Chains A and B, each alone.
Chain A
Amino acid sequence: MSPTDLAVLSMALFVIGAVCSAVLARDRIRCGYIAFVFVLAAAAAASTAGVRVFLNGPAADAPLLRIADLGASLTVHVDYLSALFLIVVALIATVTTLFSIRYLEAHPQESALRYYPMLLLFFGGVVGVVCTWDMLFFIVFWEFMTLASYFLVVYHRDDAVALRAGLKYFIVTHVATACLIAAVIILYVHGGRSFSFEAMRVGVTNLAVHAPGLLHVVLGLLFVGFATKAGIFPFGDWLPDAYPAAPAPVTAAFSGTMTKLGIYGLVRVFFQFLPVYDTCLVWGAILAAFGTLSIAIGTLTALAQDDSKRLLSFSVVGQMGYILLGVGLGVYFRPLVPALAALAVVGGLFHMVNDACYKSCLFLSAGAVEHRTGTRDLNLIGGLAGLMPLTAVAAIFASLAISGIPPFSGFASKWLLYHAAFMGGKTAPFTLVLGLIAMFVAIATLALFLKFVTITFFGKLRTPDPKRELREVPLSMVLPQGVLAVLCVVFGVAPMLAAKPVYAGIAGMLTGGEIPGFAAVFGSGSAGLALNTGVGIQGAWMPWPILIALAATAALAYVIYRAGDAEVLVSPVWYCGEEHTDEETAYLAHSLYRPFKDMLRVRIGPYETEGIYPRLPRLRAPGFGWLRRLFDFDQWAYYPFIRWGARLVGRFSETHSGIAQLYLLWMVIGTVAAVAVLLWLGGS
């Protein structure tokens, strides 16, 4: 089977699986396993398609369905970029569905009918989005995915907060889709009345030559449309509300697949549709600037959060900012230094792959903790490491990866990003500034995840409900976290494992030779990355020596610790003689970074930001009474007219009084009038 067939098969399996799980939804565990089997098969098909493309190159595509009137055809085509996303999607789909099976036990009041079918349709939509080669059907799959995800967000349908979040999510992303539709139709009109990706490229080229102003409008609309889905500040305002509202595995699936598709769209637009023009400079800078803004605002706001999933959600905003920064710098350097462009965009997409792993892992860990303790409030929990050791280890691995600690995966990708920004500073100094901001905010990321990990897993045991039995989550919930945590390490110690496919994904879209080959930029060694943007090797990341050195120093520290055999003193804290319970003196999540949080908060009258995240003030809609009266044609036009007519007729009917003499009088008057008229006519 060709990759195209496999992709179609994968979609079909998701849809069939959705139907089967809907039919068998009564028994939620069985339904979960059936859904998982279908997801596993579909994921196998999708990842096989992806791997085949990397091994044998993309296959020819075949349109499955044509709409001749519109010039649209449902064309499934798997190129290198699609292959990359297919593999990521397959991985995330498998682990999150597996995690869901036991997770749903905690919500017996909600039907599985509204969960698995929607989840599978959602994944089907995601696969459709990354495999289609036609903008109309891209939008169809895109909205279909949004639709399915909306139902997952409002899964807890009695929860007013979830409902409000779902409403906001669907409306905001629907408006974003409208932006996409407008942009795509303009390109369709200027690109020869077709929706194929080739026609989109032609449309962009034509606009660049004949109407550069309109091209900026189109790119702006596409940027807003995709950035909204990617959760980029300020467009992704829905994200911190909708993510915590959804069940944890769904949130993990969103952060691993759907949010990343916003980046997929941007990469398609700015690398495939947009040829190398000066336009790249403008939009590259805009993308990079929004990316940096997102990094700063998302991460710093996350510091102020006490809800584990809300904290992670704001950190999604920050991490998406890093990815967008990479993509933006890549676009910016396309006309200037192709090697730097390759470095930046590979850094960005590599970070995306890593983010899919560690962020999904963190959401699953938060979900596992919630599953056992029944709360997401970090103020109520603590010291769970002893009871949930495996979850703790996975969360720690993922936290280290997201904070960019070598040798975990986040370090490798962030390192590429910083390199691109700093080396680009020679050509364009503003990238240096962006790089510095990104680097310093990364420290806040570390602080953020120190908070998450230490509060949740270390310190004294705290639990909201002491009667609840606390223990490790079952294997089907540990395994998904474990797989993702292992990947956080694998991509850290073997960065070329991810960098090469990412590079192929980008190079496959560009016209031959626009960027130098992989070996020329990233070095040909298999042990690490040696960066060269055309002026000799400027930096190298060799994980193994570092890893060995780290391991050796850690071992040494342990040996010294054991050899010293220092006594650990446990003594009660002295509160000037007063007696305090543990409850009163515990250092809670809320207290962490307090001065920092106060510094960042902005208050203007009743208006207050959350962290440094602006909250929209609540608006009261005006009543528009006068407009309503104006539009009520009945009241001021028809009814008065009818009443006037009725009065007129009423007047007339008064002449029929029933008095014979009066009728006689009318007859006389009538006769006189008739005679007068006749005389007048005859006389003239």
Chain B
Amino acid sequence: MEYLLLATIVLPILGAVFVGLSPGRAAARLALFIALVTAALAIFAGIGSFPGITELKVGTLPWMAELADTDLFGILLDPLSLLMLLVVAVIGFLVVLYSNEYISRRNREHPHENGQARYYFWLLLFVGAMTGVALSPNLLQLFMFWELTTICSWALISHTHEKSALRAGYKALIMTHLGGLGFLIAIIVLYVSVGSVEFSALSLASPALASTLFILFLIAAWAKAAQVPFYTWLPEAMTAPTPISCYLHAAAMVKAGVYLICRLVLANGGLPGNAALVGIIAALVTMAVAVFLYFFQTDLKRLLALSTISQLSYIILGACLGIFGSTLAYKGAVLHIVAHGCAKGLLFLCVGAIAYATGCRRIPDLRGLAAKMPLVAVCFVVGLLGVVGVPPFGTFWSKFYIIAGAFSLPGTLGPLVGVFLLVESMVVFAWLLYVTQRVFFGAASEAAELGADPPWQMSGSLIILAALVIAAPLAALVVVSHLL
């Protein structure tokens, strides 16, 4: 079983090389096959080892042998990494499936088929890097895969090689990499002061040092997860092909940032409260900023990007509330990774299908799409309900956990945060519902006349994700009950 898990890292990375060497459509088919096998392996091995903890030491590098007593590199699977692994692998497969049709001349937004080998090479590498992040047993290995995801996202955001795309990819690379320096510094300082790069090493440091280090990790996570003040790269990265945006938002890249925080909180009991407070305040500010910017956004895809920013704040917030002792909020945060991943992934794929058919993403130009593309309309509404948390859909459960966890804390901070979250949820709900009605209902606009439901590769991904929006959080509820 351990080796099957290892294969979920190795297979996509090795496969990426083969895919990169294949010509045109063959690359797409091969990538689809590899992604499918990876997802199947992840599901089989992941669920097979649940609810236990699986560890495997693989080896170390000669010059790093002194860093730890045992082999440094390997894999670790516990309920937290299980959820992350499944999200990464399953959504990765769906994105590859979707891309098989999306990267084509039939696409009205990006009508070209060039560079498929390059595209699938980076995409599979991305999947491998993310499973690596999910399965990393210590901070050092996590950091390596972390930076690998940055490179992959740089290449994929710039995929079309248009000027704006190149610029957006470069911006994403610089901003997340600069934030990642915080991660690197924190690891070095941690190793120098307590002699370990384990996840749990943070609690060995003195409280003052621990809070400084935690804030450094937070900076890395903020940059990666596009939180204030680093959020500006994410809306610009919307120039990427939509399946890439989907993967970036639903499962990869930004989720790596919040995963780091969840991992640190899980491994370290008794982290200092003032560092957690910084995380909470930053999360609240991010939510406020993102929600404010909703009202001025006219690009459907960028609106979703802003929504991601505020939803990721929920996860960081829940994890930081966990530091204050609210296990419920922490579990909610982990649950939110899954629930938000499915719902946001679905929304992005729907927007991709709209752009594929109509070549348009501007909210004012889109009207009455429901009559032309009923399947996409249904999926979009399901995704919307999943993101805003209308029961029994997706994020209702995770948001409820976080809000109930916040209210359960003694003192005034928790209830205040809870009220803030409720208000934020309402505003987001109202605005997104308004936008959905505008885009899908009413008489069809000129752009919408072109609309049609997409071919089976894209429809299939949509339908599977729509089912997951409802089912995945319920399954994840079982998994999170084994956390802590």
The residues of A with any CB-CB pair to B shorter than 8 Å are: 67-70, 136, 139-140, 143-144, 147, 154, 157-158, 160, 163, 166-167, 170-171, 174-175, 178, 181-182, 185-186, 188-189, 193, 621, 624, 627-628, 631-634, 637-638
Contact = CB atoms under 8 A, between A and B. Distances in A.
A68 B295 CA distance: 39
B422 A634 contact: no
Contacts of A143: 390-391, 396
30 contacts: A67-B477, A68-B481, A69-B327, A69-B401, A69-B477, A70-B328, A136-B400, A140-B391, A143-B390, A144-B391, A144-B392, A154-B437, A157-B370, A158-B368, A167-B433, A181-B422, A182-B422, A185-B403, A185-B404, A188-B404, A188-B408, A624-B292, A628-B293, A628-B296, A631-B289, A633-B228, A633-B229, A633-B231, A633-B232, A634-B232
A144 B391 CA distance: 6
Interface residues of B, number: 44
B429 interface: yes
B232 A163 contact: no
Contacts of B408: 188-189, 193
Contacts of A193: 408
Nearest to B409: A189
Given A171-B429, A188-B404, A158 B442 contact: yes
A149 to B, nearest CB: 12
B443 to A, nearest CB: 6
B148 interface: no
B295 A147 contact: no
A178 B441 contact: no
A157 B442 CA distance: 6
A319 to B, nearest CB: 29
B480 A69 contact: yes
Contacts of B464: none
A631 B390 CA distance: 29
A140 B474 CA distance: 13
Interface string B411-454: 00001001100110110011001100100011100000000000
A188 B459 CA distance: 42
B393 to A, nearest CB: 9
Contact of B292 (A144, A627, A638): A627
Interface string B377-419: 0000000010000111000100011011001100000010011
B331 interface: yes
Report whether over half of chain B's contact residues are helix, strand or loop; otherwise say mixed: helix
Interface in B291-326: 292-293, 295-296
Closest 6 A/B residue pairs (Cβ): A140-B391, A157-B441, A185-B407, A171-B430, A143-B391, A634-B232
Contact of B433 (A170, A181, A634): A170
| Interface hub of B407, B408, B419, B442 (most chain A Cβ within 10 A) | B407
A321 B299 CA distance: 45
A228 B328 CA distance: 30
Contact of B425 (A69, A178, A637, A638): A178
Contacts of B403: 181, 185
Contacts of B391: 139-140, 143-144
A631 B385 CA distance: 28
A160 B442 contact: yes
Given A185-B418, A637-B229, A147 B437 contact: no
A637 B229 CA distance: 10
Nearest to A109: B371
A167 B434 contact: yes
Given A158-B443, A174-B390, A634-B232, 19 more contacts: A69-B480, A70-B404, A143-B396, A144-B392, A157-B442, A163-B441, A170-B433, A181-B403, A182-B418, A182-B419, A185-B407, A185-B418, A186-B415, A621-B295, A624-B292, A627-B292, A628-B296, A631-B289, A638-B175
B407 A186 contact: yes
Given A143-B390, A158-B442, A638-B232, A181 B292 contact: no
A230 B295 CA distance: 31
| Interface hub of B289, B296, B400, B408 (most chain A Cβ within 10 A) | B400
A178 B328 contact: no
Contacts of B423: 178
Contacts of B392: 140, 144
Contacts of B390: 143, 147, 174
A188 B407 CA distance: 9
Nearest to A174: B429
Contacts of A171: 426, 429-430, 433
B437 A167 contact: yes
Contacts of B368: 158
Contacts of B430: 171, 174
Contacts of A181: 400, 403, 422
B16 to A, nearest CB: 32
A163 B442 contact: yes
A154 B381 CA distance: 13
Given A140-B392, A182-B419, A185-B404, A174 B441 contact: no
A241 to B, nearest CB: 14
A69 B229 contact: no
A631 B441 contact: no
A624 B229 CA distance: 19
Given A144-B391, A154-B441, A185-B418, A70 B429 contact: no
Contacts of B295: 621
Nearest to A68: B481
A147 B418 contact: no
A631 B235 CA distance: 13
Contacts of B481: 68-69
Contacts of A167: 433-434, 437
A22 B328 CA distance: 38
A30 B250 CA distance: 41
Contacts of A163: 437, 441-442
B289 A175 contact: no
Contacts of A140: 391-392, 396
Nearest to B328: A69
A158 B441 contact: yes
Contacts of A147: 385, 390
Interface in B323-367: 327-328, 331
A631 B293 contact: yes
Nearest to A172: B430
A434 B289 CA distance: 48
A163 B430 CA distance: 13
A69 B437 contact: no
Nearest to A171: B430
A595 B174 CA distance: 73
A593 B429 CA distance: 42
B169 to A, nearest CB: 16
Given A69-B331, A163-B437, A621-B295, A178 B289 contact: no
Nearest to A630: B289
A160 B368 CA distance: 11
A336 to B, nearest CB: 34
A635 to B, nearest CB: 9
A453 B151 CA distance: 74
Contacts of B418: 182, 185
A139 B401 CA distance: 14
A167 B404 CA distance: 27
Nearest to B377: A157
A441 to B, nearest CB: 34
Interface string B271-303: 000000000000000000100110110000000
Nearest to A69: B481
Contacts of B401: 69-70
B426 A174 contact: yes
Contacts of A627: 292
A158 B440 CA distance: 10
Nearest to A142: B391
Interface string B174-201: 0100000000000000000000000000
A98 to B, nearest CB: 28
Nearest to A642: B174
Contacts of B434: 167
Contacts of B328: 69-70
